[in-house]
Amino acid sequence: MFDLAQTEYGKLDIVVNNAGIMDNMAAVGDVTDDMWKKVFAVNTDSVMYSTREAINAFLPQKSGTILNIASVGGTNGGRAGAAYTASKHAVVGLTKNTAYMYEPDGIRVNAIAPGGIKTNISESMKGVDEHGMQRQMVRMGLSPEPGSAEEIANAALFLVSDEASYVNGVVLPVDGGWTVY
């Protein structure tokens, strides 16, 4: 992916890490090893691997922007199961650490924390845990109407643009106000 971008366009300026699957809403006492590993592989490991490649491409040119798609599940504890929540918290931590570490090198790293957005991510949920889903429903009732992919895209366009040149290490909630509750 990185080689193709550099071959096709001459250099790499922006990387957006937008990978995500849901868990099955299981609390930590019920999450299986397989679920934990699968969710972390997609939601966290892929972000780290892509970020590492991006940093290696950006360092020689002393510039670049990385945008990670986290989640309100990565900033709040009551929005998903243990695996998803922990995986997206890890993305938030990776975002902030990478922003700090590479700021002197002209590299910016930010994240968006979407709330409920009309996507197909719920299709990745299998074998929903009854206890975990009951606990999640307490907070789900406070969720506004789902947002659109376009609303996330608009926030993304700002964060990767030159207009956001002084924005680094930020996790921007795009959640219709869900996290104010």
| Residues 6 or more apart whose Cβ sits within 8 Å of residue 118 | 146, 147, 148, 149
Which of the residues are catalytic? 84
Q: How many CB atoms lie within 10 A of CB 151?
A: 18
Taking the mean position of all CA atoms in its chain, how far away is CA 171? 9
CB atoms within 10 A of CB 92: 18
Rounded Cα–Cα distance for residues 19 and 44 (Å): 8
Q: Output the six-digit token pair for 88.
A: 């997206």
- Give the whole-angstrom CA distance, residue 87 versus residue 80: 11
